[in-house]
Amino acid sequence: MRSADAHDDALRAAVQILEDGGYAAITIERVAARSGVAKSTIYRWWSSKAELVMEAYGHLVAERMPMPDSGRLAEDLTTFVTALYRVVEHPTRVRALRGLMAEAQLDPAFAEAFRGWVRSRRDVLAVVFTRAIDRGELPAGLDVDHAVDLVFGPFWYRLLVEHLPVDAAEAPAHVRRLLYGLNDAPPES
């Protein structure tokens, strides 16, 4: 087995175990058994279970939600948010995301790996917003970090609290409201 193939097999196995049984179900032994990759090789590539899981989930999410680049902010955000909200069509993925968020609150070592994954997803949106600023679609002084928070905030809040559903059909309306707010900056105090 080629090293790159073994690496991919281990990542795939980690995601399968995560989505089947949650973070607690993942052990290096289970990943080795499911992937056919030696435990010693897995330990050589990843120093912890958290690093393995977050790299695996990072690759998977990047495949499922690549960076949109249509040349128009509204279209790019709608594409991104629709794909983000579609996670609810897969209950095992929802359970995995909730579990990852919970684990990040309980385990400082895992929280560091989790924040790295979150940063990678935030970076995608930061590029989308920065391109829009460069094209003149958004004000030059826009707080990009805050704009990114405005995209992910409703998603995570609804996913975790469940007070309202996460619905991909609502993504275009959510994006319209977001863009209205970003272009209608509050008056200076």
Q: What CATH number did the domain enclosing 27 receive?
A: 1.10.10.60
- Domain-embedded: residue 59: no
Q: Which of 54, 74, 89 is the last residue of a domain?
A: 54
150 with 143: CB under 8 angstroms? no
156 with 87: CB under 8 angstroms? no
- Domain-embedded: residue 37: yes
Q: In this structure, are 177 and 108 located in the same domain?
A: yes
- Specify the long-range contacts of residues 56-65, CB closer than 8 Å, at least 24 apart: 56/10, 56/11, 56/12, 56/14, 56/15, 56/18, 57/14, 57/15, 57/18, 57/96, 57/100, 57/117, 58/116, 58/117, 58/120, 59/11, 60/11, 60/15, 61/117, 61/121, 62/120, 65/121, 65/124
Q: In this structure, are 69 and 114 located in the same domain?
A: yes
- Domain-embedded: residue 189: no
pLDDT of residue 184: 61
Whether the pLDDT of residue 186 is over 70: the answer is: no
Q: In this structure, are 107 and 43 located in the same domain?
A: no
Q: In this structure, are 118 and 142 located in the same domain?
A: yes
pTM: 0.86
Whether the pLDDT of residue 143 is over 70: the answer is: yes
Distance CA 125, CA 4 (A): 29
- Domain of 73 in residue numbering reads as 65-183
Q: In this structure, are 49 and 73 located in the same domain?
A: no
Q: In this structure, are 75 and 48 located in the same domain?
A: no
Q: Which two tokens stand for residue 137?
A: 């679609």
Q: In this structure, are 148 and 84 located in the same domain?
A: yes
Q: In this structure, are 137 and 79 located in the same domain?
A: yes
Q: Is 91 helix (H, G, I), strand (E, B) or coil?
A: helix
Q: Is 48 helix (H, G, I), strand (E, B) or coil?
A: coil
Cβ neighbors of 169 (< 8 A, separation 6 or more) are none
- Domain-embedded: residue 168: yes
- Domain-embedded: residue 154: yes
Q: In this structure, are 85 and 167 located in the same domain?
A: yes
Q: Which of 29, 54, 79 is the last residue of a domain?
A: 54
Q: In this structure, are 75 and 156 located in the same domain?
A: yes
Q: In this structure, are 89 and 168 located in the same domain?
A: yes
Domain count of the fold of the chain = 2
Whether the pLDDT of residue 140 is over 60: the answer is: yes
Q: Which two tokens stand for residue 152?
A: 């992910």
Distance CA 90, CA 86 (A): 8
- Amino acid (one-letter) located at 180: Y
CATH code for position 115: 1.10.357.10
22-48 residue pLDDT tens: 888 999 999 999 999 999 999 999 988
Mean of per-residue pLDDT scores for the chain: 91
